[in-house]
Amino acid sequence: MIFIATAFMILSLYFYFRLLSLKKGIKSLKKDFHEIKQNRQAERHIQIQIPDKDLENLAEELNDYIASFYYEVDIKNKDLSQLKNEITNLSHDLRTPLTSILGYIGLIKEEELSQDQKEIFEVVARKSYQLNDLVEQLYEYARLGNKDYAFHMEKLDFYRIAKEHLLDSYSEFETQKIELELEFLDITKPIYIMGDQIALIRILTNLTSNTLKYAKGYANIRFSCKEKGAEITYCTNRGDLSEYDIAHVFDRYYKKSEGDVAKKSSGLGLTITKLFTEQMGGSIRAYGDEKNLFIACYFPIVSTA
């Protein structure tokens, strides 16, 4: 009886510690798999520290799945990179003949034309400029997506550049009969951010262009300065934009159908704006209330003196 009781105790202890070991192995496996899911930038595999055939078989199956996942991601990234390179090359090839076309349009503009010729010329000129803008946006998007855009980072007076840009654009709002309200602080010192001046002007130009396209008689542009950053906010009537539309305004090729307005848009302007902003260390967001759509572009301040 003593022998049987001792044997039973030993077996019980064995199975108890075996169960603890398996639970520890499962927890370790779960933790590894969770970390792999969270960080997909670098390929890694599950390691089993506790010798158990079933756990090893499970880990092997999971590792096969992980390997196939990274293989598919690698193929997808290569295909995407190749596509962006092709877009870059195609856009570059289209720019040369388009430059010539726009040059000839400028020459024809100086000629004496009949009324019928003027009407045809205006259509050709408008479509050519739209095509040129689309090609430029495709070229910029491909370069930004491939990290090929060479930023010349320097201290920039965000307030001055924004104010000068809007003063230059004011006549466009008047032409389209859009009542523009500017809310700019009475700032005497520069508000410096780190950025590329050409890219910053492109950001402001895209935001202003978007406002000119979609504003319905009224727009508000506000520049605000916070403790650690500066923000410029464009406000227009939201029209029939849904919350889904607002959440996707920065998505590639996404555009709300607004009849002739949508036909003039490539759907890339705000996507490029977001890429420029984020690659210069800023952030951009869109939100709305019952009547208005707000697009706010924020950059950290380097200094105000």
Residue 137 is predicted with a pLDDT of: 74
Q: Which range, 81-85, 133-137, 247-251, is most confident?
A: 247-251
The single residue listed with the structure tokens 């036909």 is 263
How far is 251 from 180, CA to CA, in rounded Å? 27
Instruction: Tell whether the model's pLDDT for residue 263 goes beyond 60.
Output: no
Q: How high is the pLDDT of residue 277?
A: 94
Alpha carbons 255 and 137: distance in angstroms, whole number:
15
β-bridge mates for residue 229, sequence order? 300
Give the residue from 25, 252, 288, 14 showing the smallest Cα distance to 144: 252
Q: Please state, as a whole number, how many other Cβ atoms lie within 10 Å of the Cβ of residue 288.
A: 19
Beta-bridge partners for 106: none
How many beta carbons lie within 10 A of that of residue 273, not counting itself?
Answer: 24
Q: What is the mean pLDDT of the chain?
A: 79
pLDDT higher than threshold 90 for residue 37? no
Angle formed at CA 102 by CA 98 and CA 108, multiple of 5 degrees: 145
Q: What is the pLDDT of residue 281?
A: 93
154-300, CATH topology level: Heat Shock Protein 90 (3.30.565)
- What is the pLDDT at residue 267? 65
What's at 297, amino acid-wise? C
Residue 167 pLDDT more than 80?
Answer: yes
Cβ neighbours of 239 (radius 10 Å): 14
Alpha-carbon torsion 184, 186, 190, 191, what sign?
negative
> Is the model's pLDDT at 283 over the cut of 70?
yes
pLDDT of 158: 94
Q: Is 114 helix (H, G, I), strand (E, B) or coil?
A: coil
Rounded mean pLDDT, 99-115: 82
Query: Per mean pLDDT, which range of 115-124, 160-169, 189-198, 291-300 is the poorest?
Result: 115-124
Which CA distances in Å does 165 have to 78, 132, 170, 221, 273?
Answer: 39, 22, 9, 12, 16
277: DSSP letter: H
What pLDDT score does 21 carry? 66
Residue 100 pLDDT exceeds 90: no
Q: Within the chain, where are the H helices?
A: 2-38, 53-109, 115-145, 158-175, 197-214, 243-247, 260-263, 269-279
pTM: 0.62
Q: What are phi and psi of 121, to 5 degrees?
A: -60, -40
Domain ranges of the chain: 2-75, 91-145, 154-300
Cα radius of gyration (the chain): 29
Predicted confidence (pLDDT) per residue in 178-213, tens digit: 998 888 877 778 889 999 998 999 999 999 988 988
